[in-house]
Amino acid sequence: MAKKLMKGNEAIGEAAIQAGAMHYFAYPITPQTEVAEYLARRMPEVGGVFLQAESELGASNMLFGAAASGKRAFTTSSSPGISLMSEAISYITCAELPCVLVNVCRAGPGLGGILPSQGDYFQATKGGGHGDYRLLVLAPSTVQEAVEHIMQAFDLADKYRNPVMIFADGLIGQMMEPVDFSTIKKGKPADHSSWAATGAKGREPHIIKTLYLQAEENEKHNIHLANKYKKMDIEKKSEIYGGLGKPELILAAFGTSARVCKTAIDQLNEEGIDIALFRPITLYPFDDVTISELANKKHVKQILTIEMNSGQMIEDIRLFTKSIKPIHFFGRQGGIVPSPEEVIAEIRKIIRN
């Protein structure tokens, strides 16, 4: 297939099918609904199942049930829906079932608005549901990257037997960009026969559960999970963009806000102002090494994080750089995407001081 101009939401649906996920459970919510609308047409064509659940609570627990089969399944939603899914996410993670969730993030809290936001960074990377659990979180910044992330997400979910979240936003879901499925390396679904619920023919029953009443037993399971999360560390990924060799200012941004930063950097680099972008591609695990190396460079004087929230990733930047350099923040909220002009103005203000 050649390049196709596709809406992010539709491309996400198609990517999941191409990754071999034939079962999809979801509930309508703007700005994500086109995934469901696309798959309502597409799943019957490929012999898959699209089920409109009665709620996100339903959809996410259907995902638990489906993932217990060892086959590839996924769901998509947007912020208020992800809140409702947080219960199931905790259970799925505890039961170590591979599956994929997409958050096409909109502005909160509460009902908020339907426009793009990155306000669920904490929810995605630090929890939302109860207990000690972690998700692998990928943050695409283009439609093509969203497609690649979906495909990688199923492989990562299989590899770690852990849910993977794609943290997109309303802009990536709603915009159209060229996508090319043919260039993407497709993984193969893993063999899950050692644990999946497939019927105990000729073997001991497989029990998929999250109850560990004995403290010692529960602790053992938690340690096992924690070790797994440590192993995930090798999956961390980031991009460094722009700069003229010795950047004095590092911008830190992911997803849509990183694109805005790239435009700002292009313009300022052209003017001879040396700044560069650090863009985490995985939000969990976070690329602590790269950002800390950058922060420790002599020529780097300051860091500026740009987010579409009131400052969430900045806490990780502070943590991983040990605040060795001054860290500033600029964000827009409520569904507003910061403009390159605003970012440039902020940068000028900072480097002047």
Partner 1 sequence: MAVNKIFERPVAMRENITHYCPGCTHGVIHRLVAEVLDEEGLREKTCGVAPVGCSVLMYNYMNCDFLEAAHGRASAFATGLKRISPEMIVFSYQGDGDLASIGTNEILHAANRGEKITVIFVNNAIYGMTGGQMAPTTLPNQVTTTCPFGRDTETAGWPIRIRELLSSLRTPAYIARGSAHSPQWIIRTKKYIRKAFKYQEENRCFSLVEVLSNCPTNWGMTPNESTEWIADNMIPYFPLGELKTPEEVDVPTQTMIGKDN
Partner 2 sequence: MQREVKFAGFGGQGILSAGKFYGEAGMEEGKEVAWVPSYGPEMRGGTAYCTVVIADHPIGSPIVNNPQDLVAMNRPSLEKFEPTIRAGGFILINSSLIPDRVKRKDVIEILVPCNEEAMKLGNNKAANMIILGAYAQCSGMLKLESIIDIVKTEFQRKPQFIDSNIACIMRGAEIAKREMENKN
Ligand X SMILES: Cc1ncc(C[n+]2csc(CCOP(=O)(O)OP(=O)(O)O)c2C)c(N)n1
Which residues of the chain form contacts with partner 2 (CB under 8 A)? 3, 5, 30-31, 113-115, 170-171, 174-178, 259-264, 266, 335, 337, 339-341
Show contacts with partner 1 in window 53-72 (CB under 8 A): 54-57
Select from 30-38, 95-103, 134-142, 289-297 the region that touches partner 1 (CB under 8 A): 30-38
- Give the Cα separation of 275 and 289 in Å (integer): 19
Q: What DSSP element (H or E) covers 296?
A: helix 288-296
Nearer to partner 1, 36 or 275 (CB): 36
Residue 224, token pair as written in the block: 């096992």
Provide, rounded to whole angstroms, the least separation between the CB of residue 79 and ligand X: 9
When asked if residue 296 is in the footprint of partner 1 (CB under 8 A), the reply is: no
What lies within 8 Å, CB to CB, of 293 at 6+ separation is none
Q: Which does 54 bind (CB under 5 to 8 A by kind): partner 2, ligand X, partner 1, none?
A: partner 1
Nearer to ligand X, 60 or 290 (CB): 60
Residue type for position 346: E
DSSP state of 7: E
Q: Are 256 and 308 in contact (CB under 8 A)?
A: yes
Locate the DSSP E strands across 142-221: 163-169, 176-179
When asked if residue 104 is in the footprint of partner 1 (CB under 8 A), the reply is: no
Provide, rounded to whole angstroms, the least separation between the CB of residue 22 and partner 1: 15
Nearer to partner 2, 35 or 88 (CB): 35
When asked if residue 112 is in the footprint of partner 1 (CB under 8 A), the reply is: no
Q: Are 153 and 147 in contact (CB under 8 A)?
A: no
When asked if residue 86 is in the footprint of partner 1 (CB under 8 A), the reply is: no
Q: Which does 44 bind (CB under 5 to 8 A by kind): partner 2, ligand X, partner 1, none?
A: partner 1
Binding flags for ligand X, 41-60, as an x/- string (CB under 6 A): ---------------x----
In three-state secondary structure terms, 191 is coil
Q: How many contiguous H segments (helices) and E segments (strands) does the chain have?
A: 12, 14
The count of other CB atoms within 10 Å of the CB of residue 13 is 30
What lies within 8 Å, CB to CB, of 219 at 6+ separation is none
The count of other CB atoms within 10 Å of the CB of residue 328 is 18
Provide, rounded to whole angstroms, the least separation between the CB of residue 342 and ligand X: 29
When asked if residue 335 is in the footprint of ligand X (CB under 6 A), the reply is: no
Strand partners, 242: 276
Nearer to ligand X, 32 or 152 (CB): 32
Cis upstream peptide for 109 (omega within 30°): yes
Select from 6, 29, 232, 350 the one that contacts ligand X (CB under 6 A): 29
Residue 310, token pair as written in the block: 């009131």
Which spans of this chain sit near ligand X (rule: CB under 6 A)?
27-29, 56, 80-81, 84
Which spans of this chain sit near partner 1 (rule: CB under 8 A)?
27-30, 33, 36-37, 40-41, 44, 50-52, 54-57, 80, 110-111
